[in-house]
Structure 1
Amino acid sequence: MLLELAIGDAYGAGFEYAESDFVSLYNNLSQYVQHPRHKIRPGCYTDDTQMSIAIAETLVEGQPWTREVLASKFVTAFKRDRREGYARKFYQFLQEIEDGSQFLQEIQGTSDKSGGAMRASPIGILPTIEQVIEAATIQAAITHNSPDGIAAAVAAALMSHYFIYRLGQKRKLGKFLQGYVSGIMWSEPWQGEVKSKGWMSVRAAITAIIRNDSLSELLQDCIAYTGDVDTVAAIALAAASCSDEIEQDIPLPLIDTLENSAYGKDYIIDLDSQLMGLVAG
C-alpha cells in the first residue's frame, strides 16, 4: 500500500496543476518528470506520502491514537526529513513550530482541502468499519476539522479498508461509501479537473478505480484528470494496491527510480510490510 501510494504521489508531483498539453505529452509512465514550475526533483514524494508515513508509523508502533500523538508524529516526520510539496503556509508553519503541543496550539485546523484524506489510507488496516471511521475522523480533525474535510478523510480510509477486507466488488465501491459517509455523492462519476477540495480528490480516485483494471492504467487515468493529481493518484493507488480485481503492474522504472533516501523506497517497503502485517486475519 505505502509503496504504491508513494509512487502515485511522486509521479503525480510532476503534473500537479500543470497545463493539459504538458500532461498529455509526458503522462506515459516511462519516467518521473520534472514539473514545469516546481523544484521537486523527479522521483521524490511529497507531503501526501510523508504524512501517510507518520500515520503508518503510529499504527505500527501501537501508540495511542490521540491528537497529541498524531501531531507529534506529523512534526517529527517533517523535521527529520524536510521536503517540498506542502502548501506554502503549512510548510512555513512546520518550519517554525517546535513540537506537537505547539502544533495543536497554533494550527488553524478547519480546512476542507485534501490534507486529511491524502494521509488516511493506512488507517484502512484497522479491523472494523467503526474503528476506521473513528481513527480517520480524529486524525483529520487536527488539520481539517470541517464536515467535508473529515468526510473526505473517512472515505479515503474506508476505500483501502474495503479492498483489504474484501467487502465487495470495486464497481460497488462508491455505493459502499454512500452507506457510511453522508453528504457527498461518492458513487457519482467524476469528470474534469480536480481542484483542491478533499472530496474532489476522493471522488476522482473512486471513479478511476472503478473504470480501470490495472495499476498502470489507473495511474495514467488519475494524472489525466489534471489538477491536484498527486493526491488523486496517492489515494487511488493505495486503495487499488489492495484489490484482487486490479493487476499490480506498476512499471519497473517507476519502482526502481523512486527516491531511496533515509525515508525513501527501502524504508517505505519495510514500513509497508509491518503495516500490512497488522491486517486482521
Structure 2
Amino acid sequence: MLLELAIADAYGAGFEYADEMIVNNDLSRYVEHPRFRLIPGSYTDDTQMSIAIAEVIVAQAPWTPQVLADSFVRAFKRDEREGYSRNFYHFLLEIQNGEEFLTKINPDSDKSGGAMRAAPIGIYPTPEKVIEAATIQAAITHNTPDGINAAVAAALMSHYFIYRLGEKRKLGEFLQSYVSGEWAKPWEGKVKSKGWMSVRAAITAVMRNDSMSELLQDCIAFTGDVDTVAAIALAAGSCSEEITQDIPDHLVTGLENGTYGRDYLINLDKQLMSLANKNIS
C-alpha cells in the first residue's frame, strides 16, 4: 500500500497543476515539474504524512490528536522535504512538537490533506473503527464536514479492498452507505484543491481501471491535483484482487531510497498489512 502510494505520489508530483506536462504521461519515467523544486522520483507530503499515520498504527500507540501530531512533526523533522503547501511547510519548520502543532494549527481546511494520508487507516478491522480513526486524524488539520468526509471515504476505500467487502464496481455505493457524498458519481474534468474532489476522482479511476499502470495514467489524465488523486487511488488499488499489479519496474527502482525511501516503505507495509486480520484496538 505505502510503496504504491509513494510511487503514485512521486510520479504525480511532476504533473501537479502542470497541464502542459500531460504529454509525458506515458509511465516511462519520473518527470521534473516545470516550477516546483522536486527531484524526479521523490515523494511529497502525501507519502510522508501517510508514513506518520502508518507508524502510529504499527506501534499500536493511543490514537489521539497529540500522538498523531507528534508523529506528523517527527516525520517531517527527521526528513525535511519540499512538497507541502508553502504555509504548512513553514509552519512545520517553526514548531517543535505535537503539542505546539495542536496549539498553533488552524484546523479549518477543507482541502485534501486529511484524505491524502488516510489510506493506512483502512487496516482497522471494521468500517466503524475506520470512520472513528479517520475522523480523529482529519480533524487535527481539516475539521470541516468536507475535510472529514473526504478523509473517511479515502480510508474506507482501502478498507473495502483489504477486507474483500465487495466488487470494485460497487465501491462508490459502499462509500455512500457510510459517509455523506456523491462517491458513486463519476468524476469528470480537472481536480482542484478540495479534498472531496481528489477522492471522487480517485474512486472513479479505481472503478474503471483493471491494472495499476492504467490506473496511474488515468489519475494523471484528470489534470490538477493529480499526485493526491494518484496516491489515494493506488493505495486502494494495491489492495484489490481485481486490479493487476503491474507498476513498471523502473518506477519502483526509480523511487527514492534514502533512510525513509523505498526499502523503508516496503518494510513498513509488511508490518501494517500483518495487522489486517488482528483485533487492534
Q: Normalising by the residue count of structure 1, what TM-score does the alignment of the two structures yield?
A: 0.98
SS of 1:153's equivalent? helix
- 1:233 correspondence with 2:230: yes
SS of 1:17's equivalent? coil
* Distance in 2 (alpha carbons) for counterparts of 1:62 and 1:180: 25
Q: Deviations over 1:212-256 (max 9, x none)?
A: 000000000000000000000000000000000000000001001
SS of 1:231's equivalent? helix
Q: Which residue of 2 aligns with 1:63?
A: 61
Q: Which residue of 2 aligns with 1:7?
A: 7
Q: CA deviation at 1:270?
A: 0.3
Alignment of 1:159-238 (within 5 A): 159-182=157-180, 184-238=181-235
Q: Deviations over 1:18-58 (max 9, x none)?
A: 02x421x1000011000011110000000000000000000
* Distance in 2 (alpha carbons) for counterparts of 1:140 and 1:71: 11
Runs of 4+ in 1 over 4 A off after TM superposition: none
Q: Which residue of 2 aligns with 1:251?
A: 248
Candidates 42, 45, 53, aligned match of 1:44: 42
Alignment of 1:107-186 (within 5 A): 107-182=105-180, 184-186=181-183
Letter in 2 for 1:9: D
* Unaligned segments of structure 2, at least 5 residues: none
* Distance in 1 (alpha carbons) for counterparts of 2:203 and 2:175: 10
- 1:101 correspondence with 2:99: yes
Q: Which residue of 2 aligns with 1:17?
A: 17
Q: CA deviation at 1:128?
A: 0.6
* Distance in 1 (alpha carbons) for counterparts of 2:96 and 2:262: 27
Q: Normalising by the residue count of structure 2, what TM-score does the alignment of the two structures yield?
A: 0.98
* Unaligned segments of structure 1, at least 5 residues: none
SS of 1:143's equivalent? coil
Q: CA deviation at 1:280?
A: 1.0
* Distance in 2 (alpha carbons) for counterparts of 1:211 and 1:156: 17
Letter in 2 for 1:12: G
Letter in 1 for 2:38: I
SS of 2:140's equivalent? helix
Q: CA deviation at 1:87?
A: 0.5
Candidates 264, 276, 280, aligned match of 1:279: 276
Q: Which residue of 2 aligns with 1:54?
A: 52
SS of 1:113's equivalent? coil
* Distance in 2 (alpha carbons) for counterparts of 1:114 and 1:38: 19
* Distance in 1 (alpha carbons) for counterparts of 2:167 and 2:13: 30
How large is the RMSD of aligned CA atoms in angstroms?
0.6
Letter in 1 for 2:82: E
Percent identity of paired positions between Structure 1 and Structure 2: 73
Letter in 1 for 2:258: S
Q: CA deviation at 1:142?
A: 0.1
* Distance in 2 (alpha carbons) for counterparts of 1:128 and 1:174: 18
Q: Deviations over 1:64-98 (max 9, x none)?
A: 00000000000000000000000000000000001
Q: Which residue of 1 aligns with 2:29?
A: 31
Letter in 2 for 1:48: D
Alignment of 1:84-95 (within 5 A): 84-95=82-93
* Distance in 1 (alpha carbons) for counterparts of 2:151 and 2:113: 8
SS of 1:181's equivalent? coil
Q: Deviations over 1:175-229 (max 9, x none)?
A: 00000001x1000000000000000000000000111000000000000000000
Q: Which residue of 2 aligns with 1:73?
A: 71
Candidates 243, 254, 259, aligned match of 1:262: 259
